[in-house]
């Protein structure tokens, strides 16, 4: 049994393709059932997000299984296979395992380290579990992927730094003020970025919001939205000392806030620190404001610089994450390789034993002058022969179970001795884990 | 016995310093815990050492430079451990424990033998005066550590160099708070140390104040810290200004303690 992955992502397909093959999250039953109905496929999980559509499945026939899933994706969404084919990737074996581990650990994301993808895969797995299209192998596989993702998250700093301008601003504020719960934010002007940043600050527990704008009605409207206080633009410098964090994004073509104003304000605040964030281009705040004692000014370029260096840091952390994944793949691959060895050994033994018992019975029933301990001795003799014959092949199978190409040996043994093995049983899986 | 306890203390402080510096490089929670445990063990050994010496000598063991430096180190570690407990800023230890280690090692360069007490010092004021003085010194030493961290972090934020060190250092607010708390803890102690010293001087030497170099420099130190507290409370000297003054104050204090003893002869020159 092999794990295969077929899909496309932001790396292989543009958004107009991705949206065509996306699955609606409310109707997952139909496609899931449709995939496992194909004869080649035994288990399936469908992951569909705005950045990727992937199907994880198990099959005995790698090429056939992949072709089936590709055709399914095209047919289900009414696209021609030829149009879809160039965007699709297909992995099996170790590559497939690595791929899913990397996706879950957010190493394959557009923004490396973003946390949503793990939740999305968990939801996707939830549907597969609900509709029983995932079985022992995919259950185990995805749980492993979740634990790998968790390990990456806790052992590397891949998701520890802000990679958006507004998050970067909030993090800076925390380094200046510590707690934000007794801090007030003032919005000067009302741009989209400004509102977004204000929302981030509110989510991080700032106490209050003040809004000022050249059009007072606009300020009032925004203040209402944030449950804050509107201030007339003329009163800006009378009120500024009440703000700890100032977010500025007016359309002004000159500096609105100058060092002299800020010196005055900071004196009124008894030198309590202030954090100015100038999101406007052209800038609203004179860069010299940064030189005022206990005042910190960051403009758009500064914040983007922070984000860029955080992204770089993430890239470095991603290397550590890859090492963790390498380690975990080894373990999981061993497990899955082992998966078919034990049932094969069991089947082989019972086949030999069955033959032995049948032949023994025939002999015993026709043997009239059997000595008193004859039956016992024949039993021992036949048992010894069977065990001696089976010892080398079983040992070889067990050895290959420690890694390597087990399927070759498993297939050979099955064909040579005409074994019928069903799916591995849950009980056997427990044994294999050790 | 006494020498062994001292050696154990020194070794534990060295190990704790190494652990705290390692924490500065790799701030793992487990490493921080290990560092704190080693330091706490060192503190315990140091306490036992000091008590043992007290019993052996029959008086408060803060009568020569060896003993003073040792007690100074003990007080710094004590104040630091209390600070870490309250503010959970393990990284402060990376700045304070090296200082404690340095001071304790410095004490080894002075004779450690217990000498009979100068009759002029035989008084119950000895304990009150010296313990308060060194506790205040220790509080100022921790404030010094926090102030250095503040200046580093402030520089990172102003110059927008937000590297790995910036990530590890705590927020400006906490550092300023520690600075302030240590000040409000240390300043009254220093005040009482000076007052108790004056009273003791009256009983021992017959005069409250004789402008001996130690007295003069203690007063200067007191004025520096008084100015800092005054500035904080009235005009809001906080942040950078407060940090710089805490550093200046600590150097003045070091001179009052060591410089005066070593270079300026006077009534307090106990070597």
Would the CB atoms of B236 and A179 count as touching at under 8 Å? no
Q: Do A296 and B158 touch (CB under 8 A)?
A: yes
Check if the beta carbon of residue B207 is closer than 8 Å to that of residue B182. Answer: no
A137 class by beta-carbon count within 10 Å (0-12 exposed, 13-18 middle, 19+ buried) = buried
**CB nearest A271 (choices: B163, B167, B236):** B236
User: What is the distance in angstroms between the Cα of A316 and the nearest Cα belonging to chain B?
Assistant: 13
Per-residue confidence (pLDDT) for residue B193, from 0 to 100: 94
CA nearest to B164 within chain A: A313
End-to-end CA distance of chain B: 23
Average pLDDT over all residues of chain A = 88
> Token match 């404030």: residue?
B143
As a whole number, mean pLDDT of residues B158-166 equals: 88
In whole angstroms, give the CA distance from residue A379 to residue A146: 51
Using an 8 Å CB-CB cutoff, list chain B residues near A175: 153, 157, 166, 171-172
d(CA B157, CA A291): 11
pLDDT (tens digit, 9 = 90+) per residue, A255-267?
A: 999 999 999 999 9
Of B158, B160, B241, which has the smallest distance from its Cβ to A305's Cβ? B160
Q: Which residue has the tokens 């090692």?
A: B105
pLDDT of residue B150: 96
Kindly identify which residue of chain B lies nearest to residue A173, measuring between CA atoms.
Answer: B171
Contact B160 A309 (CB under 8 A): no
Count CB atoms within 10 A of the CB of residue A227: 9
CB contact under 8 A, A177 and B172: yes
Predicted confidence band at B228 (pLDDT cuts at 50, 70, 90)? very high
Residue A174 with chain B: CB contacts under 8 Å = 171
Residues facing residue A56 across a β-bridge: A5, A45
Please check the confidence at residue A132 and state whether its pLDDT lies above 90: yes
Residue A95 φ/ψ, nearest 5 degrees: -60, -40
Q: By the 8 A CB rule, do B270 and B261 touch?
A: yes
- What's the average model confidence in pLDDT over B165-170? 90
Identify the pLDDT of residue A409: 80
User: Which residues of A form the catalytic set?
Assistant: 50
pLDDT value at position A98? 94
Q: Answer whether residue A423 shows pLDDT above 60.
A: no
Q: Which residues of A touch B238 (CB under 8 A)?
A: 270-273, 294
Judge contact between A230 and A220, C-beta under 8 A: yes
Asked if the model's pLDDT at residue A425 lies above 80, the reply is: no
Phi/psi of residue A91, each to 5°? Answer: -125, 155
What backbone torsions phi and psi does residue B264 show, to the nearest 5 degrees? -110, 110
Among A178, A270, A290, whose Cβ lies nearest the Cβ of B173?
Answer: A178
Cβ–Cβ under 8 Å, residues A156 and A313: no
A72-101 confidence digits (pLDDT tens): 999 999 999 999 999 999 999 889 999 999
Q: Quick check: A290 and B158 CB within 8 A?
A: yes
- Nearest in space to B177 (alpha carbons), one of B215, B232, B224, B218: B232
Residue A430: pLDDT band by 50, 70, 90 thresholds? Answer: very low
Backbone dihedral angles phi then psi of residue B27, each to the nearest 5 degrees = -75, 75
Q: For the residues B57-70, what does the mean pLDDT come to?
A: 88
Taking any CB pair shorter than 8 Å as contact, residues of chain A touching chain B are: 161, 172, 174-179, 269-273, 290, 293-294, 296, 298, 302, 305-306, 309
Q: Is the pLDDT of residue A374 over 70?
A: yes
Please compute the mean of the pLDDT values over residues A120-132 and round it to a whole number: 94
Residue A73, number of CB atoms within 10 A of its CB: 27
Mutation to test the A interface, candidates B87, B162, B176, B233, most A Cβ within 10 Å: B162
Q: Model confidence over B99-151: pLDDT tens digits?
A: 999 999 999 988 888 888 777 777 888 889 999 999 999 999 999 999 999 99
Please state the rounded mean pLDDT for residues A127-150: 93
pLDDT of A427: 43
Q: Are A204 and A213 in contact (CB under 8 A)?
A: no
**Chain A residues with CB inside 8 Å of B158's CB?**
290, 296
pLDDT band, residue B269 (cuts 50/70/90):
low
Task: Indicate the residue of A174, A269, A305 with minimum beta-carbon distance to B171.
Answer: A174
What does DSSP assign to residue A240? G
Q: Which of A204, A213, A249, A255 minimizes the C-alpha distance to A231? A: A213
Chain A residues with CB-CB distance to B177 below 8 A? 178
Return d(Cα A390, Cα A48) in angstroms, integer.
48
Distance from CA of A220 to the nearest CA of B (A): 32
Sheet holding A41-48, edge to edge: A41-48, A52-59, A2-9, A89-92
Q: Looking at the DSSP assignment, which residues form a beta bridge with residue A278?
A: A248, A299
| B240–A302 C-beta distance less than 8 A | no
Mean pLDDT of A241-252: 91
| Residue A431 in this model has a pLDDT that exceeds 70 | no
pLDDT per position as a tens digit, A36-68? 998 889 999 999 988 899 999 999 888 999 999
- Cβ neighbours of residue B121 under 8 Å, at least 6 residues apart? B59, B63, B204
The token pair at A329 is 């793949």
Write b or e for each residue in A147-185: b if 16 or more Cβ atoms lie within 10 A of its Cβ, otherwise e.
Answer: ebbebbbeebbbbebbbbbbbbbbbbbebbbbebeebbb
Nearest to A319 by CA among A116, A119, A112: A112
Give the DSSP per-residue string, B110-164.
S-----PPPGGG-STHHHHHHHHHHHHHHHHHHHHHHHHHHHHHHHHHHHT---H
- CA nearest to A168 within chain B: B162
CB A166 within 8 A of CB A343: no
pLDDT at A370: 83
Q: Which residue of B has its CA nearest to A177?
A: B173
Element (H, E) at A299: strand A295-299
CB contacts of A272 in chain B (<8 Å) are 236, 238
- Vertex A114: Cα angle to A110 and A115 (nearest 5): 140
Nearest-by-CA chain A residue for B157: A296
**CA triplet A314, A320, A321: central angle to 5 degrees?**
80
Residue position matching structure tokens 């050249």: A214
Q: Chain B residues within 8 A (CB-CB) of chain A?
A: 153, 157-158, 160, 162-163, 166-167, 170-174, 177, 235-241
> Which residues of chain A make contact with B162, given a CB cutoff of 8 A?
172, 306, 309
pLDDT given at position A196: 82
Residue with tokens 């992927």: A145
- Chain B residues in contact with A176 by the CB 8 A cut-off are 157, 171-173
pLDDT band for B250, please (50, 70, 90 cuts).
Answer: very high
Mean pLDDT for A193-214 is 88
CB contact under 8 A, A294 and B158: no
Across the A:B interface, residue pairs with CB atoms under 8 Å apart total 55
Q: Which two tokens stand for residue B246?
A: 């805490």
User: Does the structure show a pLDDT above 50 at A402?
Assistant: yes
Report the alpha-carbon distance of residue B182 to residue B176 in Å, rounded. 10
pLDDT at A433: 38
Q: A271 by DSSP, 3-state: which?
A: coil
Q: Best residue in A156, A162, A173, A178 to probe B by mutation, most B CBs within 10 Å?
A: A178
Instruction: State chain B's mean pLDDT as an integer.
Output: 90
Interior/surface letters B43-55, b for 16+ CB within 10 angstroms, e for the rest:
bebbeebbebbee
Contact check, Cβ <8 Å, B235/A271: yes
Long-range contacts (CB closer than 8 Å, 24 or more residues apart) made by A95-100: A96/A2, A96/A3, A96/A4, A96/A5, A96/A56, A97/A3, A97/A141, A97/A329, A97/A332, A97/A333, A97/A336, A98/A325, A98/A329, A99/A5, A100/A5, A100/A56, A100/A141, A100/A142, A100/A145
- Chain A residue numbers with beta carbons less than 8 Å from the beta carbon of B239 are 271, 273, 293-294
Please tell me the distance from the alpha carbon of residue A350 to that of residue A361, in angstroms, as a whole number.
16
Q: What is the pLDDT of residue A94?
A: 86
Separation of alpha carbons A209 and A369, rounded Å: 105
Closest chain B CA to residue A172: B157
- Reported as a pLDDT band with limits 50, 70 and 90, residue B84 is very high
pLDDT above 90 for A322: yes
Mutate to test the interface with A, among B27, B157, B240, B245 (most CBs of A within 10 A): B157
**Structure confidence at residue A426 (pLDDT):** 43
Q: Quick check: A14 pLDDT over 80?
A: yes
- Chain A contact set for B167 (CB, 8 A): 161
Q: Which of B162, B174, B238 sits opposite A306 (nearest CB)?
A: B162
How much is the pTM? Answer: 0.72
Order the strands of the A274-278 sheet from edge to edge.
A229-232, A208-213, A184-188, A245-248, A274-278, A295-299
pLDDT of residue A406: 67
Helical pair B2-25 and B29-57, crossing angle rounded to 10 deg: 160
Closest approach of chain B CAs to the CA of A274, in angstroms?
A: 11
Rounded Cα distance, B36 and A92, in Å: 49
Interchain contact, B157 vs A179, CB within 8 Å: no
For the purposes of burial, counting CB atoms within 10 Å of the CB of A320, is it exposed (0-12), middle (13-18) or buried (19 or more)?
A: middle
Nearest by CB to B236, from A175, A272, A290: name it. Answer: A272
């Amino acid at each position: 049994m092999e794990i295969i992955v077929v899909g496309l992502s932001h790396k292989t397909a543009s958004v107009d393709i991705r949206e065509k093959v996306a699955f609606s999250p409310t109707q997952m039953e139909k496609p899931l059932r449709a995939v496992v109905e194909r004869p080649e496929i035994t288990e399936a999980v469908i992951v569909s997000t705005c950045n990727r559509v992937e199907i994880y499945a198990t099959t005995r026939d790698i090429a056939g299984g992949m072709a089936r899933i590709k055709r399914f994706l095209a047919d289900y969404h009414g696209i021609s296979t030829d149009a879809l084919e160039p965007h699709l990737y297909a992995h099996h074996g170790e590559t497939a395992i690595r791929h899913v581990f990397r996706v879950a650990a957010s190493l394959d994301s557009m923004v490396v380290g973003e946390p949503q993808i793990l939740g999305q895969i968990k939801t996707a797995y939830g549907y597969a579990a609900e509709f029983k299209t995932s079985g022992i192998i995919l259950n185990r596989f995805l749980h492993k992927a979740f634990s790998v993702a968790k390990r990456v998250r806790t052992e590397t700093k891949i998701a520890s730094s802000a990679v958006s301008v507004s998050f970067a601003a909030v993090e800076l504020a925390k380094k200046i003020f510590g707690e934000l719960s007794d801090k007030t934010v003032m919005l000067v002007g009302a741009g989209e970025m400004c509102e977004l940043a204000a929302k981030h600050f509110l989510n991080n527990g700032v106490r209050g919001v003040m809004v000022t704008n050249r059009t007072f009605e606009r300020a009032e409207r925004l203040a209402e939205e944030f449950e804050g206080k509107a201030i007339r633009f003329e009163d800006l410098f009378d009120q500024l000392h009440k703000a700890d964090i100032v977010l500025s994004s007016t359309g002004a073509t000159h500096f609105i806030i100058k060092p002299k104003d800020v010196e005055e304000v900071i004196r009124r605040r008894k030198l309590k620190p202030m954090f100015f964030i100038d999101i406007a281009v052209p800038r609203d705040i004179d860069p010299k404001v940064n030189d005022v004692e206990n005042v910190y000014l960051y403009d758009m370029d500064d914040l983007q610089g922070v984000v860029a260096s955080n992204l770089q840091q993430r890239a470095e952390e991603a290397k550590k994450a890859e090492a963790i994944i390498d380690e975990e793949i080894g373990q999981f691959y061993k497990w899955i390789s082992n998966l078919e060895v034990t049932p094969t050994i069991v089947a082989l033994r019972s086949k030999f034993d069955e033959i032995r018992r049948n032949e023994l019975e025939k002999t015993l029933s026709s043997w009239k002058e059997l000595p008193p301990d004859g039956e016992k001795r024949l039993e021992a003799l036949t048992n010894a022969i069977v065990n001696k014959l089976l010892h080398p092949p079983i040992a070889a199978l067990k050895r290959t179970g420690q890694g390597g190409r087990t399927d070759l040996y498993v297939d050979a043994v099955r064909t040579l001795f005409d074994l019928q093995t069903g799916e591995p049983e849950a009980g056997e899986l427990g044994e294999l884990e050790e | 016995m006494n020498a062994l306890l001292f050696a154990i203390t020194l070794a534990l402080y060295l190990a704790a310093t190494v652990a705290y510096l390692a924490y500065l490089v790799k701030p793992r929670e487990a490493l921080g815990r290990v560092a704190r445990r080693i330091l706490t063990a060192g503190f315990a050994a140091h306490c036992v050492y000091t008590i043992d010496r007290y019993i052996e000598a029959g008086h408060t063991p803060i009568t020569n430079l060896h003993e003073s430096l040792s007690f100074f180190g003990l007080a710094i570690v004590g104040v630091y451990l209390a600070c870490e407990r309250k503010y959970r800023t393990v990284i402060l230890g990376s700045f304070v424990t090296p200082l404690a280690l340095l001071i304790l090692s410095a004490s080894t360069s002075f004779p450690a033998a217990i000498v009979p007490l100068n009759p002029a010092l035989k008084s119950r004021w000895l304990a009150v005066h010296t313990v308060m003085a060194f506790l205040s010194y220790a509080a100022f030493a921790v404030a010094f550590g926090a102030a250095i961290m503040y200046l580093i972090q402030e520089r990172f934020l102003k110059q927008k160099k937000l590297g790995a060190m910036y990530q590890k250092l705590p927020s400006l607010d906490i550092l300023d708070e520690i600075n302030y708390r240590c000040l409000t803890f240390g300043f009254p102690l220093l005040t009482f140390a000076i007052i108790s010293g004056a009273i003791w001087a009256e009983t021992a030497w017959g005069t409250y104040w004789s402008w001996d170099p130690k007295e003069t420099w203690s007063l200067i130190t007191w004025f520096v810290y008084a100015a800092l507290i005054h500035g904080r409370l009235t005009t809001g000297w906080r942040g950078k200004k407060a940090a710089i003054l805490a550093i200046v104050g600590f150097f003045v204090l070091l001179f009052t303690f060591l410089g005066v003893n070593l270079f300026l002869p006077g009534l307090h020159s106990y070597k």
